[in-house]
Amino acid sequence: MKFYALICILTAISLILTPAIVLLRPNEAQPTAAQTAPEEEKTVTVFLSANESTVTMPLEEYVVGAVAAEMPASSHPQALMAQAVACRTFALYRQRMEKAAPTSSLRGADLSDQPQRHQGYLSEDARREKWGEDFKENEAKVRDAVRQTNNEIMTYNGEPIFAAFFAVSSGQTESAETVFGDDLPYLKSVVCDEDLLSPDCTRAVVYTAEEFRASAQTIDGVTLPDDEEDWISETDASDSGFVRQITLGETQVTGMRFRDAFSLRSAVFTVSRTESGFRITTKGFGHLVGMSQYAADTMARSGADHKQILRRFYTDVKITDE
> What tens digit of pLDDT does each residue of 242-271 get?
999 999 999 999 999 999 999 999 999 999
Residue 243 CB partners (closer than 8 Å, separation 6+) = 235, 236, 237, 254, 255, 258, 267, 268, 269
Strand ranges across the sheet with 277-283: 202-208, 277-283, 269-273
Per-residue pLDDT tens for 194-203? Answer: 999 999 899 9
- Residue 47 CB-density burial (10 A; 0-12 exposed, 13-18 middle, 19+ buried): buried
pTM: 0.85
Where do the structural domains in the chain lie, given as residue ranges? 43-194+288-321, 202-283
Per-residue pLDDT tens for 60-101? Answer: 999 999 999 999 999 999 999 999 999 999 999 999 999 999
Per-residue pLDDT tens for 131-185? Answer: 999 999 999 999 999 999 999 999 999 999 999 999 999 999 999 999 999 999 9
Residue 162 CB partners (closer than 8 Å, separation 6+) = 90, 93, 176, 184, 187
